[in-house]
Structure 1
Amino acid sequence: MLQPSTTPRFLSRELLDVLIRAGLIAVLAAFCFRIFAPFLNLMVWALILAITLYPLQAWLRGPLGDRDGLIATLIILVAFAVILVPTYLLGVAVSASVERGIDVVKNGSFHIPPPAESVAAWPLVGQRVYGFWAQASTDLTGLAQKFAPQLKDVGRALFDAITGVSAGMLVFFLALIVAGILMAHGEKGHRSTVQIASRISGPENGRQIADLCTATIRAVAQGVVGIAFIQMLLIGVAFVLMGIPGAGLLALAVLLIGIMQLPATLITVPVIVFVIVTQGVSTATVIFSVYVFVAGLADNVLKPLLLGRGVAVPMPVVLIGALGGMVTGGVIGLFIGPVMLAVGYQLFWRWVKDQPQAERVQERTPL
């Protein structure tokens, strides 16, 4: 008699073992992610900062030797000083300005000068601006009461923005400390990254993907800081020449909000309004207003020129990744977006070009 085959039972047992192992691995991964999730933003920022600052550490090995821990500590201390000093000065200046504003309002000495007659002749909005400005110069209290709900909403939004920026700065400083620890072990970290990438995408792609991610992060970081610095110079020079109070601090504020990927118009538009209100409409104020407003929008032109330089993928891929990542993931998405899109672009074209059979057929096909 024929013995019943044990192959289906053996296959079902093997399949059951595989499913159980996969389920246990999925449960373990889910628990690990839940535990690590509160520190995800911090670690991503630390990794970005470590990759960006590591070339400086490699350069300092010449004069200071192979003391990676000491070099990383010095870099982080200098970075703290560079960031904290302008931030402190900016906070003190803002606090002093708010206190002076409150004192002026309490004393009743704040007065808006009446608009010039030429304001009414402005096209489209001249009459409305003239009426609003005239009411503000004669009855500012009544105007404030009229727009009290809107002012309350604006104040709440401003408070939420300040709170968010404060929390973001705290995370940034903690990430800077963690980045110093990562830089102290940079060589081991690079080897581990190559091993992980090789395990995921194969030995032939591992080092290339690791180098691509590193170059993309550095290109985006340098592009962001470089664009913010250029905007600070363009706007700061105009503030100084126009004699704006606190021009240096305002320029530092432009640099900080540029690094945080906020529009520079948050600084330039209030300054333009201040200049027009205090100095009136003239050729100098119009030229200043147009120049500063255009300089505040210069990042829209500089990003396509600076982002993605030195990366082995087309610039539009990096630019689209940076803009899309910023929309979907905020400031961190500005770095993660181009990295993911660049890696996907490289893997896609490697897969497209890896067609040995098609190439043989094409070579054998007679013309």
Structure 2
Amino acid sequence: MEPSLFNEKTLTRTLLDVLIRAGLIVVLVLFCFDIFSPFRDLMLWSLILAITLYPLQKRLRGPLGQNDGRIATLIILVAIMILMVPIYLLGTSIADSVTRAIDVVKADTFRIPPPSEAVASWPLIGPKLSALWTDASTNLPDLAAKYIPQIKLASLTVLSKLAGVGMGFLIFIFALIIAGIFMAHGEAGHRSAVQIASRVSGPDRGPKIAALCTATIRAVALGVVGIAFIQMLLVGLGFVFMGIPGAGLLALAVLLLGIMQLPVTLITIPVIAFVFATEGASTATIIFAIYVFVAGLVDNVLKPLMLGRGVDVPMPVVLIGALGGMVTSGIIGLFIGPVVLAVGYQLFWQWVEDRPDVTTSET
């Protein structure tokens, strides 16, 4: 047999072996991904919570001993107890708002005031909007019967979103429990993360990549998601105790605005105006207005104290992460999206800036 023919057959056989092995690896990875995908969001959020809360565990090692499992369990139990009360109040508020809406519809006491003459003069949509508004104010039952399919679809959409919110909070509690397990093995988890990063990026860059990911996760989780969650709780509790209609939904809107880095006063100021318009000026309404207004600005105090006015990630990245995460994964994606996208953004720019030095010499 000629040497060239032997080499060609050997090369073909080697290439075929490589392709078969690669194909088997791809099939295995796809099967593993399908099995893991239902738990993806839960495990991601658990990992984010564990990385965020782990510095607190290290601070408590001295006063509470050196047992990481016991300290992690205590942190998670306290966190769950703190979260359950406001979540229960907000959930009760949402249920009461839905019940009130149903009672109003059944009692047929809901009336829409007629539109002003200026509405008809609005460009493009003025005449149609004025006619629709007039029908709603004079004959609402017939108008509702006319649009029953659209109303039914919108109602089902709202109910599904509310169910998704409830499931998201339930996943949040489970994620806290799993995060406690991660925190109990924090040192081993850190070593594993460094080993994985070193295997992917090399032994020199691996620890730096792991440290960058850890710092970014903590920065976004505390400086964006954490502060927005605190704002939601503070403002939402004020809405609940004042009996604001739809207090739970308004609190969720506060959470969304906080994560998107938009001013919460877009919600609090109209609510304050509504309270004064409906109940007038009194000691209770004045105290409520001051409390809610200050609670809406609490991020201006918390951000410098916690992370020096936020993170080194542009606001559009956080905004896109929040909206994209909410669209793909519901309420839990609202928390995961900004963190994951911020990590990807930081890793991308780390790769862009970490160029190898190219030296040229003239001969």
The two structures share one fold, judged by TM-score above 0.5: yes
1:236 touches 1:251 (CA, 8 Å); kept in 2?
Answer: no
Find the aligned partners of 2:11 and 2:268 in 1 and give their Cα distance. 70
With 85-94 and 250-259 compared, the bigger mean Cα shift is at: 250-259
2:50 touches 2:183 (CA, 8 Å); kept in 1?
Answer: yes
- After TM superposition, list the pairs within 5 Å mapping 1:180-329 onto structure 2: 180-222=180-222, 223-230=224-231, 245=244, 253=252, 271=271, 278=278, 314-316=312-314, 319-329=315-325
Find the aligned partners of 1:349 and 1:165 in 2 and give their Cα distance. 40
Q: Which residue of 2 aligns with 1:342?
A: 346
Find the aligned partners of 1:174 and 1:244 in 2 and give their Cα distance. 30
Pick closer, same or farther for the CA change 1:81–1:67 going to 2, 3 Å: same
State the one-letter code of the partner of 1:326: A
Q: Which residue of 2 aligns with 1:17?
A: 17
Q: Which residue of 1 aligns with 2:159?
A: 159
Question: Which structure carries more relative contact order (alpha carbon 8 Å, separation 6+)?
Answer: 2
State the one-letter code of the partner of 1:315: V
Q: Following TM superposition, by how much is the alpha carbon of 1:224 offset from its aligned partner in structure 2, in angstroms?
A: 2.0
State the one-letter code of the partner of 2:359: Q
SS at match of 1:63: coil
Q: Which residue of 1 aligns with 2:43?
A: 43
Find the aligned partners of 1:93 and 1:154 in 2 and give their Cα distance. 21
Aligned CA-pair RMSD: 4.8
Q: Which residue of 1 aligns with 2:283?
A: none
Find the aligned partners of 1:225 and 1:111 in 2 and give their Cα distance. 39
Unaligned residue ranges in structure 1 (runs of 5+): 281-287
With 128-137 and 185-194 compared, the bigger mean Cα shift is at: 128-137
Find the aligned partners of 2:268 and 2:246 in 1 and give their Cα distance. 11
Find the aligned partners of 1:221 and 1:339 in 2 and give their Cα distance. 11
Find the aligned partners of 1:190 and 1:76 in 2 and give their Cα distance. 20
Unaligned residue ranges in structure 2 (runs of 5+): 281-287, 327-332
Q: Which residue of 1 aligns with 2:284?
A: none
Q: Which residue of 2 aligns with 1:355?
A: 357
Find the aligned partners of 2:320 and 2:248 in 1 and give their Cα distance. 31
Determine which structure has more spread, i.e. the larger CA radius of gyration: 1
Pick closer, same or farther for the CA change 1:77–1:93 going to 2, 3 Å: same
Q: Following TM superposition, by how much is the alpha carbon of 1:212 offset from its aligned partner in structure 2, in angstroms?
A: 0.7
1:51 touches 1:218 (CA, 8 Å); kept in 2?
Answer: yes
2:324 touches 2:337 (CA, 8 Å); kept in 1?
Answer: yes
2:69 touches 2:184 (CA, 8 Å); kept in 1?
Answer: yes
2:217 touches 2:343 (CA, 8 Å); kept in 1?
Answer: yes
SS at match of 2:66: coil
SS at match of 1:221: helix
Q: Following TM superposition, by how much is the alpha carbon of 1:81 offset from its aligned partner in structure 2, in angstroms?
A: 1.6
Pick closer, same or farther for the CA change 1:311–1:183 going to 2, 3 Å: farther
Find the aligned partners of 1:148 and 1:165 in 2 and give their Cα distance. 25
- After TM superposition, list the pairs within 5 Å mapping 1:45-124 onto structure 2: 45-108=45-108, 110=109, 112=111
Pick closer, same or farther for the CA change 1:138–1:3 going to 2, 3 Å: closer
For 1:263-287, what per-residue CA distance to the aligned partner results, in whole angstroms no more than 9, with x for missing partners? 979966995896698579xxxxxxx
Q: Following TM superposition, by how much is the alpha carbon of 1:337 offset from its aligned partner in structure 2, in angstroms?
A: 0.9
State the one-letter code of the partner of 2:208: Q
Pick closer, same or farther for the CA change 1:278–1:17 going to 2, 3 Å: same
| Identical aligned residues as a percent | 47
Q: Which residue of 2 aligns with 1:284?
A: none
Q: How many residues align?
A: 336
1:219 touches 1:309 (CA, 8 Å); kept in 2?
Answer: yes
For 1:338-360, what per-residue CA distance to the aligned partner results, in whole angstroms no more than 9, with x for missing partners? 10111111012112xx22424xx
